[in-house]
A and B are shown apart, each in its own frame.
Chain A
Amino acid sequence: KNQVEQSPQSLIILEGKNCTLQCNYTVSPFSNLRWYKQDTGRGPVSLTIMTFSENTKSNGRYTATLDADTKQSSLHITASQLSDSASYICVVSDRGSTLGRLYFGRGTQLTVWP
Chain B
Amino acid sequence: EADIYQTPRYLVIGTGKKITLECSQTMGHDKMYWYQQDPGMELHLIHYSYGVNSTEKGDLSSESTVSRIRTEHFPLTLESARPSHTSQYLCASSHDREGTDTQYFGPGTRLTVL
Interface set of A (CB-CB < 8 Å, partner B): 4, 32, 34, 36, 41-46, 49, 51, 89, 93, 97-98, 100-102, 104-107, 109
Interchain CB contact (< 8 A) of A42 among B96, B103, B107: B107
Q: How far is the CB of A108 from chain B (nearest CB, A)?
A: 11
Q: What's the dominant secondary structure at chain A's contact region?
A: strand
Q: Is the CB of A97 within 8 A of B101?
A: yes
Residues of chain B contacted by A98 (CB below 8 angstroms): 96, 101
Pair B106/A43 contact, Cβ less than 8 Å: yes
Mask, B98-114, CB within 8 Å of A = 1, is: 01111111111010000
In the assembly, what is the distance between CA of A34 and CA of B98, in Å?
14
> What total of chain B residues lie within 8 Å of the partner, measured CB to CB?
25
Q: Contact check, B108 vs A42: say whether CB atoms are below 8 A apart.
A: yes
Residues on B facing A (Cβ under 8 Å): 2, 4, 6, 40-45, 59, 90-92, 96, 99-108, 110
Q: Which of A43, A100, A107, A109 contacts B105 (CB 8 A)?
A: A43
Nearest A residue to B4, CB-CB? A43
Taking a contact as CB atoms under 8 Å apart, the answer to whether A97 and B96 are in contact is yes
| Distance of A80 Cα from B59 Cα, bound (Å) | 36
Q: Is the CB of B41 within 8 A of A106?
A: yes
With A41-B110, A43-B90, A43-B92 already in contact, the answer to whether A107 and B102 are too (CB < 8 A) is no
Cβ 8 A contact of B100, one of A36, A44, A97, A106: A97
